[in-house]
Amino acid sequence: MAKGGPKTLVVGTAGHIDHGKTSLVRALTGIDTDRLVEEKRRGITIELGFAAWEIAPGLSASIVDVPGHEGFVRTMVAGAAGLDLALLVVDVEEGVMPQTREHAHVCSLLGVTRGVVALTKIDRLAEDELEEAVELAIADAREGLAGTVFADAPIVPCSAHTGAGLDAVRAAIRAAARELPARSTRDRPILPIDRVFTIKGHGTVVTGTLLAGALRAGRDEAVAVIPAGPRREPISTRIRGLEVRGEAVTRAVAGARTAVNLAGVEASALARGDVVTLGDRVIAATVVHALLEHLPHAKESWRRDTSVELCAGTAHCVAWLDPLARLDGDGGLVEPAGPVTLLPGARGLVRVRLGAPLPCWAGQRLIIRSFEDARASEATRAHGHTIGGGVVLDPRPGAGRGQRPRWRALARGLMASDDAARIEALIADAGALGIAREALELRAGVTALDGALDSLVNRGVARRVAGRYLLTRVLTPVAAAAVEVVTRYHADNPVQPGVSRATVEGLIPGRVSPEVASAAIDVALAEGALVSVDDRGLLARPDHGPAGGFAPAVQRLLDVYERAGLSAPTIKDAAAAVGQSERAALEAIVVLQRAGALTRISNDLSMTTGIYEALVRDIQAHLVAHGRLDVQALKALTGLSRKFVVPLLELLDRQGITRREGDVRVPGPRARG
């Protein structure tokens, strides 16, 4: 735990039936955790028991007393979820037994990192045989607990009946507690429910170990209960009150055994296995990807569709395993050449299909149990029926055939210890679709998510587009696709100056949102692969023509008319000069006329607007000097043939520059400009 200030932790008992767990808890705390009539009658713990314990000034604990009988291992797993420290109880005379080993493996697989072994019932030994019996029991424990969190744990002989060694047990627990890291209170709260009951005058109460974050009473912000099991929907509720170790509080923090009084929800609507949370940290999952360890004492290998029992938090269900890759000795994924089999003792990436929706989150610990009880080998029976466990890597991995290489690639990124690397891996996997912040919160399991995202954006690694995050490098192929769309448009429409942005966005292939397409176009514009043609926002390749100018095919035709001067070619001749069809040439002429670059004289004749305006000025000067203009005079003035002069005079009449009177033209209303 963090140094400085009060500390709180959850200590869980573990061990074989009738080795004295409950008696030891009673001796340490003064509290009897057997709370059911059936437990009193049978003399064994069959449900979870709880006790508050002030270990030392500033150091308090909630003790979870779990059942040791093999028929209640599910209950033991539920109680062990969220432990900071495990107190393994071993009868000095019986030694390490099957449930002792199973509980030890469960604690290890659930991520418990600190443990103490209490060697109980030493008062039953004769004084002259005590030392030797204890030495033998310690040696037996070291051998039987090898490969678990208790392998190097302190082993303390004690007696709950006489009190012998209890101070040493307390000292060992205090020492282990000082080595524990602090739990995060900044994360979203996660509280797996292990008990549900009703208190008269208060309503529904749930209890559990607050694994992360903090809960507050009386806040306006609602909490959610994520259900375990089929055909159930999340429940939105509010916290009416909180208790920690039997005392009313306004705030409960990670690591505390917590009772939550929920408003507006019936106890019948809730069950063990549900999770109280806030935000987008937990999901009712039906498929997860997990890093699992297959215990070496298991009987059978794991292959595709191996059926098992899955325990997650305080919930459990049937599940089917689909190994995707095994881990090598250094913890790296081995790319398989074919179907993957995980032998006993191996670790690997496994796709786990759940038989019912269960609350899951990134980093959640899982326990895998076998259904092969009746056919178990002696070795398997000796080590119980817990055959593996591990941690959820991705609580919402998605579906689809042929995705195994992609899933393995993503898993490599999610296995990184660096928060930013895990987030980057998820953003990269989302591709051009991008991924929402809510999905990142669920799948990355990162406490300081916003800070990590800001870092990626500020470094230019990622971009936020329409509320979704995608890697900047992902925009590169989308930008290239946008350039290809424009290129094809130029080929199909050579006379058009460009194509609208909306058209390009709609023609980019693949599952690309309009927002991502727009961002990719911005990249292409910034890199100079595309240019904006005019104030209408048309897009073009830079080699398609000068900015604000014409497409190459149009510009070449304009050059023909500029070189022709007054001797404007027909459409047929102009098309032949640039190697175009007459239809393409006519389309280009229309573009030039609309742009004001060409002036249409007749259906077949045009001249550049600059040359035409210079000619009009000459004609206006002639009219001022002579007062009239006829065909012969215009032929002499321009050097043009009659077939050109006649339609030219008709255009001058329409424009009001001349007015026809018989066979001559006189000044019109616009004769002086």
Known catalytic residues? 18, 21-22, 69
Q: Which helix (H) or strand (E) holds 486?
A: helix 475-492
Q: Which ranges of 14-150 would DSSP assign to H, the alpha helix?
A: 21-29, 37-42, 73-80, 98-109, 127-144
Spell out the residues 6+ positions from residue 35 whose beta carbon is closer than 8 angstroms to its own: 47, 49
Spell out the residues 6+ positions from residue 204 whose beta carbon is closer than 8 angstroms to its own: 196, 197, 198, 261, 262, 265, 266, 267, 270
In one-letter notation, the amino acid at residue 483 is V
Sign (positive or negative) of CA dihedral 551, 557, 562, 566: negative
Rounded to 5 degrees, what are φ and ψ at 425?
A: -65, -40
Contacts by 545-553 with C-beta closer than 8 Å and gap 24+?
A: 545/497, 549/497, 550/497, 550/591, 550/592, 550/595, 550/597, 551/490, 551/494, 551/495, 551/496, 551/497, 551/591, 552/494, 553/494, 553/495, 553/578, 553/580, 553/584, 553/588
Query: Taking a C-beta distance cutoff of 8 angstroms, is the pair 285, 396 a contact?
Result: yes
Tell me how far apart the alpha carbons of residues 101 and 308 are, in angstroms, rounded to a whole number: 19
- Measured CA to CA in angstroms, residue 607 lies from 4, 247, 559, 582, 593 at distances of 90, 96, 11, 17, 10
Three-class SS state of 137: helix
For helices 571-578 and 552-564, the axis angle rounded to 10 degrees is 120
Q: Which burial class, exposed, middle or buried, applies to 230 when counting CB atoms under 10 A from its CB (0-12, 13-18, 19+)?
A: exposed
Residues 570, 575, 579, CA angle at the centre, nearest 5°? 155
In angstroms, how far is CA 626 from the centroid of its own chain? 85
Q: Are strands 539-540 and 531-532 parallel, antiparallel or unpaired?
A: antiparallel
Retrieve residue 341's tokens.
């089999």
Retrieve residue 594's tokens.
């609309």
Spell out the residues 6+ positions from residue 624 whose beta carbon is closer than 8 angstroms to its own: 667, 671, 672
Closest to 444 measured CA to CA, from 424, 470, 474: 424
Distance from first CA to last CA of the chain, Å, rounded? Answer: 93
Give all strands (DSSP E) within 541-597, no chain letters: none
Retrieve residue 255's tokens.
């690591």
Retrieve residue 252's tokens.
């409960």
Residues 302, 76, 234, CA angle at the centre, nearest 5°? 80
Spell out the residues 6+ positions from residue 614 whose beta carbon is closer than 8 angstroms to its own: none
Spell out the residues 6+ positions from residue 605 whose beta carbon is closer than 8 angstroms to its own: 568, 570, 644, 647
